[in-house]
Amino acid sequence: MVVQEPAALAEVLAHRVVSAGQRALDARGSLSIALPGGSVAAAFFPRLAAAAFDWRQAHFFWVDERAVPPGDPESNYGAARALWLAPAGVPDARVHRMRGEAADLEGEARACEAELRRALGDPPVLDVALLGVGPDGHVASLFPGHRLLEETARRAAALDDAPKPPPRRLTLTLPALSAARLVVVAAFGAGKADVVRQALEAPASPLPLARLARAAGASLFLLDAEAAGALRR
């Protein structure tokens, strides 16, 4: 757990992701990263794009996507392309996006899972999964009490009943996220303090963030002072 201001956390994240990336390339000759959208993208992606690392070697996936076209302001892919992928010169062949504009989201979820397995093996294991968290404790598009939290087989899924707009989304599941060699969770602001506390200090919490933290083999929490404010000192 690292508690600093977002600008300093971006430096920490860049160092950790570059280090993990180089280890992955040295060990397996490949690197895979799953990306979020939202405040994490805005806070971290420009710094990552500027890191002294050849991101053209990495394969980029997404932890979730809204059911919108890639040019929509709500598109997680669109944010990543503008803030990281395009500035870093990542070729399209390395970009494995979730097609949120697909009419058949269930079919697209199956295609996303097939692409994960094709690129990463079976079962697919990401090198880095980068996530934000909502004030309700949701990660990716896995929401408290949702049926997808109980998914054990599928690595990607569609939903049409997300409790925040838009309701139609694609998401990686807990088995896909928790299998990552490094899970990074970033949280800013007092509104995240209670769910961060539950994830780190409440062993029986049913929140998606807490379940992911328990299941992950290696995790890094990047918090500002407000998000860490409810933790025991």
Please report where in the chains the tokens 């007092």 appear, as a residue.
190
Looking at every residue in the chain, the average pLDDT score rounds to 96
Task: Give dist(CA 83, CA 44) in Å, integer.
Answer: 9
> Residue 173: which residues within 8 A CB-CB, separation 6 or more?
142, 148, 151, 154, 155, 156, 157
Largest Cα–Cα separation, the chain: 49
Residue 233's pLDDT is 66
Residue pLDDT, tens place only, 3-41: 999 999 999 999 999 999 999 999 999 999 999 999 999
Confidence class of residue 43 from pLDDT cuts 50, 70 and 90?
very high
Amino acid occupying residue 166: P
